[in-house]
Amino acid sequence: METQLQHTFDKYGFIKVEAAFEAQLFKSLQAITTSLLQDAQNFAKEDKCLEHISASRHQGRLVVSRINDLFKFQSAYAELLAHPSVIGLAEKIIGEPVAPVYESLLIKDPADPYQIGWHRDMNAGADERIITMGIYLDDAQAQQGALQVLPGSHLAKESVLELKEKLEKQQLTPVDVPVKAGDILIHHVNTLHCSGIQHAKSMRRTLYFEFRAISHLQQNSNYSTQWLDKRLALLAKLQKGERESAGYNLVEPDFYSTFYQIEPADYGFNFG
């Protein structure tokens, strides 16, 4: 039976949860992320880990814009998967047991002149619920490049390019979704969304997880049994209440060694 949460998500293609974390846990997340970002900048300066870190120079300094495969750098992020506001919320929306497909940190720096254009996170239509969860470590108001979404666009049959043309002609109305630090914003991978240039003086950092039903991953040839087994083993450790301690690795060193092929995003570029 469909819940009210699922009904709202299915209708609009996104949902926001305010103040999702306890104050102490959230402060710890912010501190860990500040430390990770400094480490990532040092790695980038030394041309290390560039397969996981996206960095470029703006206004005379090195700016890190994304860090992928987060558990490689800090397994404390993996412990988030045990939090009811993360995997518990994902399972309430999807309606069955789930596993994380990827985990990344997106950084919007005031020195970065780029915006993220209108796009869908998956270029293929998904009839089932596949979700992108954004955990906001900082406020994201309109001047901070807050997310804009086109409600209901996950159900639209038009292509990204066609929807963008309608937006330009003001035939469709997007909505701003401002959030505060500690909020969670979840959208369907087919929901059209974008975010503008960061005009505020402070950074905006967002943790992203994609979640899919385990049953989906078992049937999807892009994801091997070995890859899924590693993810399920991590979830099993967390369900047992295991935490990282001296001599114990919550996330095994080879966690990211298994190849998988995630479906690409769709930005609707017109090459004509």
C-beta separation of 189 from 126 below 8 A: yes
> pLDDT of 30-58, one tens digit each?
999 999 999 999 999 999 999 999 999 88
pLDDT at 247 over 70: no
Predicted model pTM: 0.94
Q: What is the mean pLDDT of residues 81-85?
A: 94
Q: What residue spans define the domains of the chain?
A: 4-225
Residue 234's beta-bridge partner residues? none
The string of pLDDT tens digits covering residues 191-208 is: 999 998 877 778 899 999
CATH number for the domain formed by residue range(s) 4-225: 2.60.120.620
Tell me, what's the pLDDT at 136? 97
pLDDT of residue 272: 52
For residue 212, which of 226, 202, 222 has the smallest C-alpha distance? 222
For position 138, what pLDDT does the model report?
Answer: 95
Rounded Cα gap, residues 140 and 136, in angstroms: 8
Return the percentage of the chain with pLDDT > 90, whole number. Answer: 77
